[in-house]
Amino acid sequence: MNPIVIIGVTAASTAGHDYLIAVAALAFCLLLYALYKLFFRVDFGVPVRRKLLARKLIVVRDQLAFVPFWWSNVQVQRAISSYWKEKLRYGSSDHHPATPEPTAGPAPGQEPDTTARDG
């Protein structure tokens, strides 16, 4: 009896399907990971939902946070903690250090005054 033949299946016939099994196993692992990321909830102090089309942290009325799907738990934790630090530092006012203060200049729709030039 030939040792390569095992119950009517030859080694040559299974060698071509090994890559299909590997691709199917990889796809299955990616599916399990995606399901884990979507449905497993870690407690960050505020309910966090992951979105596919989000690019940054979005907090809705301090009750719900949306984060990008690909963020790790550490990134989510850091983003939420920095959100709360900023919220406590500046309160609910609209003043934010990233927004520049309005400068003195012509009103919208008016041209700047060019008559008083040094020269």
More confident residue, 48 or 41: 48
Q: What is the pLDDT of residues 97-119, one digit of tens each?
A: 555 555 555 666 666 666 655 54
Q: What is the pLDDT of residues 44-79, one digit of tens each?
A: 778 888 888 888 988 888 888 999 988 888 998 899
Q: Is the pTM of this model over 0.75?
A: no
DSSP annotation string for the chain: --TT-BTTB-HHHHHTTHHHHHHHHHHHHHHHHHHHHHH-----SS-EEEETT--S-EEETTTEEEEETT--HHHHHHHHHHHHHHHHHHTTSS--TTSPPPPS-PPTTPPPP-SS---
Q: What is the mean pLDDT of residues 8-31?
A: 78
Q: What is the pLDDT of residue 63?
A: 86
